[in-house]
């Protein structure tokens, strides 16, 4: 588990031992997509890790103009691992992006922003390490069809686990009738859980690429799963999310299925989140722990929560980065949209896991999802939390009751804030509230990010008629 390589010298030894033919250099764009360029092993030398790999920055969404398109990838040898899916032995290396025009790490490179956030933590004197433990839920479908034309919009996802298939005649088999049903997928055994072997294969491949897996199970919704991997430092954890998503998608693909991290693909069933566990340490000591306090939380941990909740509407632009994100954050589906904290209570947007001792005390932010770029999502939460520590921001709560039972009027009467209801709302919030981000995100980056999201997500989404609108307004 963990690193396979600890230096550039070890990288070449590792490649020789594994008879590597190709080196695949990967980097992450603003929206969180992994990109890659492949070189033959013979074209790579130790100098490559210093001088970098040239590429066209104008061909990546929201990056460089065409007249200043030359950019450089700086590979990090310590991230190397063998690609488990290529026919020829290929090693993957994760890269940062370097701006040759400004002579610095690129201000729009999410991984470089994450490294700035880590440095800011150290420079602040608050702590020397921030640990992040994301829990990425996903769906696996047998088929997906999408249509988005001027006169027609539709989608259809299918899974043998779906209750809608109770009366389906299968040409190559029979209908078993064993299904999780809506909201019935949490921990059922086979044959109701049809994805045991598929998830087991995902686990084995995740371990091949260096992730330490500790739990795997069916999730609440039909066709939904989760694989739990060990926490890491901020950049390491974000790297692992990229590896995790790559493996889950590819294993599903090679088994004739399709995996998605889309937050809400099924109407009326639970959605997929990316719950993120967090803690700050200094000199090997967990600064979030104080025995005897509520849930053993220190003042620092409480202020950290306060900072995230105070800036949550702005943070959401990075942690819930799609229009679909906000279809998950509605009442009735374990949606953690109420901005308070609680011990053990999954209805709060921040939960303190049960039984946490000195080494394991942490907070769990439950509103993020996997459409958020992990480097940006983790950085935004860390910066908001540090702002809360700096200003001793007290969060609303703790609240141990079932918040899902409260009406909107009751929530407002108690003075509890909520997550924004749309991506537009979160982007407008980040326009108003971004001072806490400025140590690691430049004004140019924040402007670029919110404009890009408006242009590619919000405006196209708001302009499109939907089948539901035809159903409710066509005869008006």
Q: Which residues does the annotation mark as catalytic?
A: 56, 135, 137, 219, 226, 275, 346, 364, 366
Q: What residues contact residue 101 under an 8 Å CB cut-off, 6+ apart?
A: 68
Q: For residue 153, give Cα distances in angstroms to 148, 271, 385, 461, 464.
A: 5, 22, 41, 12, 8
List the structure tokens of 378.
């983790």
Q: What is the DSSP letter of 63?
A: S
Cβ 216 vs Cβ 251: under 8 Å: no
Locate 249 and state its tokens.
């998608």
Spatial distance between the Cα atoms of 25 and 40, rounded to a whole number of angstroms = 11
Please tell me the distance from the alpha carbon of residue 39 to that of residue 24, in angstroms, as a whole number.
Answer: 6
* 8 Å CB contact between 121 and 445: no
Which residues are paired to 141 by β-bridges?
Answer: 258
Which DSSP category does 188 fall into?
A: P
Rounded CA separation 5/92 (Å): 12
DSSP 3-state of 178: coil
d(CA 15, CA 133): 30
Helices 234-254, 374-391: axis angle to 10 degrees equals 150
- The per-residue b/e assignment along 26-52, b for 16 or more CB within 10 angstroms, e otherwise, is bbbbbbbeeeeeeeebeebeeebbeeb
Exposure string for 129-144, b = 16+ CB within 10 A, e = fewer? bbbbbbbbbbbbbbeb
Please say whether the beta carbons of 395 and 348 come within 8 A: no
DSSP 78-132: GG-EE-TT-SS-EEEEEEEEEETTTTEE-TT-HHHHHHHHHHHHHHHTS-SEEEE
Calpha distance 111→336 (Å, rounded): 27
Which contiguous run of DSSP H or E holds residue 71? strand 70-75
Contact 264, 148 (CB under 8 A): no
Cα–Cα distance between 205 and 442 in angstroms, integer?
Answer: 37
């Amino acid at each position: 588990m963990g690193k396979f390589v600890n230096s550039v010298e070890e990288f070449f030894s590792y490649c020789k031992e594994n008879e590597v033919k190709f080196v695949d250099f990967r980097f992450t764009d603003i929206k969180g997509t992994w990109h890659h360029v492949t070189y033959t092993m013979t074209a790579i030398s130790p100098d490559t890790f210093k001088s970098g790999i040239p590429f066209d920055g104008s061909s990546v969404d929201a990056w460089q103009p065409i007249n200043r398109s030359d950019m450089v990838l700086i590979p990090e040898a310590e991230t190397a691992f063998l690609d488990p899916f290529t026919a020829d032995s290929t090693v993957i290396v994760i890269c940062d992006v370097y701006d040759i025009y400004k002579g610095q790490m690129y201000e729009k490179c999410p991984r470089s922003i994450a490294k700035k956030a880590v440095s800011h933590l150290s420079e602040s004197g608050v702590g020397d390490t921030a640990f992040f433990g994301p829990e990425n839920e996903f769906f696996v479908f047998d088929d997906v069809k999408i249509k988005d034309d001027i006169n027609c919009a539709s989608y259809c996802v299918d899974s043998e686990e779906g209750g809608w298939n109770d009366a389906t005649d299968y040409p190559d088999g029979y209908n078993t009738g064993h299904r999780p049903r809506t909201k019935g997928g949490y921990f059922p055994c086979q044959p109701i859980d049809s994805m045991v072997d598929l998830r087991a294969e995902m686990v084995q491949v995740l371990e091949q690429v260096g992730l330490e897996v500790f739990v795997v199970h069916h999730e609440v919704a039909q066709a939904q799963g989760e694989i739990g991997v060990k926490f890491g430092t901020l950049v390491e954890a974000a790297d692992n999310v990229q590896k995790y998503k790559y493996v889950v998608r590819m294993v599903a693909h090679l088994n004739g299925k399709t995996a998605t991290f889309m937050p809400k693909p099924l109407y009326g069933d639970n959605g997929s989140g990316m719950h993120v566990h967090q803690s700050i340490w200094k000199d090997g000591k967990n600064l979030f722990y104080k025995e005897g306090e509520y849930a053993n939380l220190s003042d620092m941990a409480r202020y950290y929560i306060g900072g995230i909740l105070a800036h949550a509407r702005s943070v959401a632009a990075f942690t819930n980065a799609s229009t679909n994100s906000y279809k998950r954050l509605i009442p009735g589906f374990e949606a953690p949209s109420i901005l308070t904290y609680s011990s053990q209570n999954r209805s709060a947007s921040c939960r303190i896991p049960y039984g946490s001792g000195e080494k394991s005390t942490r907070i769990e932010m439950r509103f993020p999802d996997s459409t958020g770029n992990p480097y940006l999502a983790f950085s935004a939460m860390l910066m908001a939390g540090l702002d809360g520590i700096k200003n001793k921001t007290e969060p609303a709560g703790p609240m141990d009751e079932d918040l899902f039972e409260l009406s909107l009027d009751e929530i407002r009467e108690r003075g509890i804030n909520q997550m924004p209801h749309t991506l537009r709302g979160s982007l407008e919030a980040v326009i108003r509230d971004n001072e806490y981000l400025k140590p690691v995100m430049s004004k140019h980056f924040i402007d670029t990010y919110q404009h890009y999201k408006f242009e590619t997500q919000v405006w196209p989404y708001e302009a499109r008629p939907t089948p539901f609108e035809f159903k409710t307004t066509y005869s008006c």
